[in-house]
Structure 1
């Protein structure tokens, strides 16, 4: 997937399929390849899958926050010439998608969130990565999933390298603080975009009661559970995730 990226001006993104655009937003530690299962499935089902690389570590520190990333996504949608889109996000990506839906509802057809921050203050991790401690980082990466084997060496190495890059670490902390500042509990009841909440029953990062709270506060939402599943449902159970998402899209006529 990383080999198929398009680079145009300030945007780098993956695109596949034709039809209604689904914009997918990755999380803080999440690469575009985390969504390979979703991209392969839906690009054959009448949807155009577009996954932009978010400028998490490259944007000016003053623009390293949830609101600025939501505007970046809106500018990207305008650049691509899309009128209205379905948006999906995991973890921080879900938070950015929610904030985008709050700021630019006219751009939204529907919203899918999984393991999203936005309500739960510890969603960015209750302890920040320790530099130089590979074993600690491996355990942290494994705890994101129900099945620790999903945390491949490649994933652990990526988090380890981030934790040992001073600038990236500073930006990670900046984003974590921004996520806490941009708590959306008061905004959600006013947001009427059709929303699909898909959650792992064993999510340790954003526990199941966070999903219940999103469902309760969002007036036009449906909640789906995946058993034996942690924080990144689309990675751990891609087939079940795709079926639930497709079920919701069809019921919502999207």
Structure 2
């Protein structure tokens, strides 16, 4: 089952993890698309509109299913036992497996953290970094949720019960246009979230998160408070004005902490700007990746 045309399935062994990915384009600069962390997330679900658009614009585009998500291996050796760092390390192994020397990183939500952290850890391999609405990055910078997590979208995530109805409730809450939540999308994400090993993999991630919150040495590895404001890789951050999961106030507060990264706020877009406003966001990403004279302030 696929959600659209113009992209393809691929598999690669990334440091022993059988990794599924969606891809498009056979020549041009390489772009890695990092999806968010909601239940049933995958490269296809998160980037189905951007994959063919970037390929048509002359890029090679790869959207891996991160560990604990999509169709990627969910056996114990692939569990994200180091939390977010496991996701970053997996993307590094994925890029290595494809023999890509230099990439552009694009990420949404938790995937924006993965993209930014990979750029921080491997600046010699990243040409540019485009980030889309991320409570994970805000949290890594020490910012709390302005509503304390009481919004309907966050509550839909917390109450997700692995049912199709629970998936529908979550997707309707985070996607700006409820009519875009098709039965096909719900089934694709529901099936992915209920694959053998996925729940255990997610629990391993959660267990580490709890440990990280209580051990400063582990929090320091997750935190971007010192490193992201110093990032020299050209970057851009966008945020949906109607984001119901990570309220736009988080973006405004985060912008104050990142004077080296320009922010732009998108009207009529929620947590997944790339699916709420695909034509606009595709054009923004293409223009940003093509524009080579962007200056980075120190």
Q: TM-score, normalised by structure 2?
A: 0.73
Contact 1:56–1:64 at 8 Å: present in 2 too?
no
Q: Post-superposition shift, 1:62?
A: 5.4
Residue 25 (structure 2) pairs with residue 25 (structure 1): no
Which residues in structure 2 correspond to 1:188-207 (within 5 Å)? 188-207=228-247
Supply the RMSD in Å over aligned alpha carbons: 3.0
Structure 2 equivalent of residue 52 of structure 1: 64
Structure 2 equivalent of residue 156 of structure 1: 186
CA gap of 1:173–1:233, structure 2 versus 1, over 3 A, is: farther
User: Bigger CA drift: 107-116 or 153-162?
Assistant: 153-162
Structure 1 equivalent of residue 90 of structure 2: 72
Residue 106 (structure 2) pairs with residue 106 (structure 1): no
Residue 19 (structure 2) pairs with residue 11 (structure 1): yes
Gaps of 5+ in 2: 214-218
What SS class does the counterpart of residue 141 from structure 1 fall into?
Answer: helix
**Distance (whole Å) between structure 1 residues aligned to residue 271 and residue 262 of structure 2:** 18
Contact 1:39–1:49 at 8 Å: present in 2 too?
yes
Contact 1:199–1:225 at 8 Å: present in 2 too?
yes
Gaps of 5+ in 1: none
What SS class does the counterpart of residue 6 from structure 1 fall into?
Answer: strand
What SS class does the counterpart of residue 159 from structure 2 fall into?
Answer: coil
User: Bigger CA drift: 147-156 or 177-186?
Assistant: 177-186
What SS class does the counterpart of residue 138 from structure 2 fall into?
Answer: coil
**Distance (whole Å) between structure 1 residues aligned to residue 50 and residue 235 of structure 2:** 17
Q: Post-superposition shift, 1:136?
A: 4.9
User: Bigger CA drift: 6-15 or 223-232?
Assistant: 6-15
Structure 1 equivalent of residue 216 of structure 2: none
Deviations 1:3-43 (A, max 9, x none): 82122333322332211111111122433223122111111
Which residues in structure 2 correspond to 1:53-202 (within 5 Å)? 53-57=65-69, 58=74, 60-61=78-79, 63=81, 65-116=83-134, 117-120=136-139, 125-126=154-155, 128-131=158-161, 135-158=165-188, 160=190, 167-175=197-205, 178=209, 181=219, 182-202=222-242
